[in-house]
Structure formats: structure tokens, C-alpha cells
Structure 1
Amino acid sequence: MVVPNQGSPIKIVSYKHDGQLHRTWQETTVLKATNSRIIGANDRTKVFESDGRTWVTREPAICFFYTKYWFNIIGMLREDGIHYYCNISSPFIYESGAVKYIDYDLDIKVFPDMTYTLLDEDEYALHRERMNYPEVLDRILWNNVSQLKQMIHQRKGPFAYEHVERWYEMFLTYRSF
């Protein structure tokens, strides 16, 4: 797989299971890219919703995308600490200057004290029925919810405070150019 260059801008594009465009983030700076993961950062980037609405992110965010896991993690740096938003999603692909994935509705919101809330189970159930998610996909997604919860409890990877801080410092060096 071709990966973007460190320091280059990319888009983030999410789709739904039926192939419909869901959401696009205009610009994210690549901090690290390998065949198995891309780490990026953005701050006050424009976001385009599939219904035509747009909005701008409010704070710096470090984004972690994986080919091994069925989730991605966004660490948002706020005054009261790091808040995480975890999307249960397909592993990413990189093409045409964009990280692309399928959003499977389930999300985990993690607070600075590492408490968390599972979100959008009703939306997941609705889309699972409407879009006819196969049973094997349902098992994969729920297994990844469990794996993500385990990472949160163990404060592994992005859930180690220093990990996000280190990537944010690197992002600031790119912004100073």
C-alpha cells in the first residue's frame, strides 16, 4: 500500500456500509504513516456532512487509523484534558490523498478520567437491519468494541496521555513552518 508522506496534508473521508458518503474532514497533517497505521493531526479544520452542512472542529485533535483494528481513535486536546472519540469502523484504506473508512455507527466517548460511554447502539441496530450487516460483521464489530474497552482500561496506545501529547508536539512543529 502506498502511504502519505510525513508532514503532508490529507483528507479523512467516512462512508456508510451502503457506500453513501458520511463525512469529510478537509485537512489533516500526517504525523506518521506505515502500511498498518496512520497518525494525523488537525485543528480548526472544516468538516463536510453528507447532508450539505459544514462545521469547523473546535480544538486540536490527534487521529489514529489502523488496518488491523475495526476502529479509529480521535484524541481531542481540551483545557480540562484529553477527550477521546472512538469510531467503530472498518480498517482504513489510503487512496487519492485521503484516509477512507466505513463508519459503523457505534462510538465510544472517553473522558479525561478514562470513564467512557458507548454511544449510538440504537442507530447501529437500525442501520444493521436496513443495510443488512452480515452476522460475521456484527461479531467483528462487537469484538472490536470489547478490544477498544480493554485498551481504555489498560491505558494503552492513544489512551496513554503522554502518547497524544508527544504527537501534538510534533504537530506544532509542522504548524510553525
Structure 2
Amino acid sequence: MNIPVPGDKIEIQSYKHNGQLHRVWESTTVLKATRNVLIGGNDRTTVTESDGRTWITREPAICYFHAKYWFNVIGMIRLDGIYYYCNVGSPFVYDEEALKYIDYDLDVKVYPDMTHTLLDEDEYEQHKKEMNYPTVLDQILKNNVETLQRWIRQRKGPFAPEFIDQWYERYLTYLR
């Protein structure tokens, strides 16, 4: 796997289990990249949905991807605090084209007070049937939801108190 370098601008592509492209984030600035972790930042980036519709993100965000965990985390910086949107999905891969992962529908929304809600369970169950997720995959995803919720409770990784602020400061240096 090739590794981008800090300052590179990359595209992020999410797919569904059946291989269909789901969503594309046009430009994210790489802040840190190793074989296992990629941290990026973006602000007002164009997002293209699978049906061709586009929209622009509203606030600065720090993105955390891991090559061993089945989730990624987006910390959105808003006036009233940091909100996190966590996608349950495959570990990321990176090639010259983009950072890529498979989105498995389940999401966890985390509020500034660190309360959190599991979202899209109905959509997950529907796609699990339609796309024939293997039993082992279902168990991997459920185990990773538990790991993600434990990280939130323990303020681990991207949920650590200073994580988003520190990486956002680094992101700002690339905008100058």
C-alpha cells in the first residue's frame, strides 16, 4: 500500500458491500499517514453521492481512519463544540486514486458532552439481507461497534480531549 505524505490532498471514496460507489469527498488534506492510520482535515469540501447529487460540508472536520479497525471517525468542529460522526466500515486502503473503504450503514453520532447514539440499524439489517453479509462479517461489525463505543466512553484515540484541536491546528498550517 502506498502512503501519502502530509500536505497531500486526497479523495475519499466509500463503497457498499456490493462494490457500488456510495459517496466521494473531493479533497482532504493529509495530516498524518502510516500503514495503519491516516488523519486528514477538510473544510467546505464537495461531496458527491452515488446518484450524482453534490453538497458541500459546512464546517471544518478532522478525519481518522485505521487499517485494523472497522470504523472511521469524523470530528466536526462547530461553535458549540465537537460533534463526531462515526462510520462503521471496513478498514481503509489507499491507492494512488483515493482512500477507500466499505460503508456498512451503521453509524454512531457523538455529541460534545460525549453522549452517543447508534444510527441506521434498520438500513443495516436491510442491506445485510439484500447483499448477503456473511455471519462472520456481521459479528466483526457488531464487535467493532462495541470497540467504538468503548473508545468513546474511555475518550480514546480521536475522542481524546485534545485530539481534534491539535490536528485542526496542524490542518490550519497547510492553509497558510
Normalising by structure 2, what TM-score?
A: 0.99
Separation in 2, partners of 1:39, 1:49? 22
Q: Distance in 2 between matches of 1:59 and 1:36?
A: 26
Query: Does the 8 Å contact 2:2/2:96 carry over to 1?
Result: no
Counterpart position of 2:41 = 41
Structure 1 residue runs without a partner (length 5+): none
Q: Is contact 1:4-1:97 (8 Å) kept?
A: no
Counterpart of 1:161 in 2: which secondary structure?
coil
Residues of 2 paired with 1:160 and 1:112: CA distance? 12
Distance in 2 of aligned mates of 1:163 and 1:125: 33
Percent of paired sites with the same residue: 66
Q: Residues of 1 paired with 2:153 and 2:99: CA distance? A: 27
Moved more, 127-136 or 89-98: 89-98
Q: Is the 8 A contact 1:82 1:161 kept in 2?
A: no
Distance 1:161 1:59 in 2: 19
Q: TM-score, normalised by structure 1?
A: 0.98
- Matching residue's letter, 1:112: P
8 Å contact kept, 2:63–2:75: yes
| 1:169 is aligned to 2:164 | no
Contact 1:70 1:90 in 2 (8 A): yes
- Secondary structure of 1:143 counterpart: helix
Deviations for 1:104-138, whole angstroms, at most 9, x for unmatched residues? Answer: 00000000000000000000000000000000000
The answer to whether structure 1 residue 141 and structure 2 residue 141 are counterparts is yes
User: Distance between the aligned counterparts of 1:41 and 1:173, measured in 2?
Assistant: 11
Unaligned stretches of 5+ residues in structure 2: none
Root-mean-square deviation (Å): 0.5
Which residue is equivalent to 2:102? 102
- Match of 1:4, SS state, is coil
Where does 1:15-34 land on structure 2 (aligned, <5 Å)? 15-34=15-34
1:51 aligns with 2:75: no
Which runs of at least 4 in structure 1 moved beyond 4 Å after TM superposition?
none
Tell me, in whole angstroms, the C-alpha distance in 1 between the residues paired with 2:97 and 2:73: 20
Q: Is the 8 A contact 1:74 1:84 kept in 2?
A: yes
Looking at structure 2, the residues matched to 99 and 61 of structure 1 have their Cα atoms a distance apart, in angstroms, of 16
Q: How far off is 1:161 after superposition?
A: 2.6
Equivalences for residues 79-98 of structure 1 within 5 A? 79-98=79-98
2:97 alignment partner AA: G
1:134 and 1:153 map into 2 onto residues whose CA distance is 29
Counterpart contact for 1:14–1:21, Cα < 8 Å: yes
Preserved contact between residue 17 and residue 103 of structure 1 (Cα < 8 Å): yes
**Whole-Å separation in 1 of the counterparts to 2:161 and 2:53:** 33
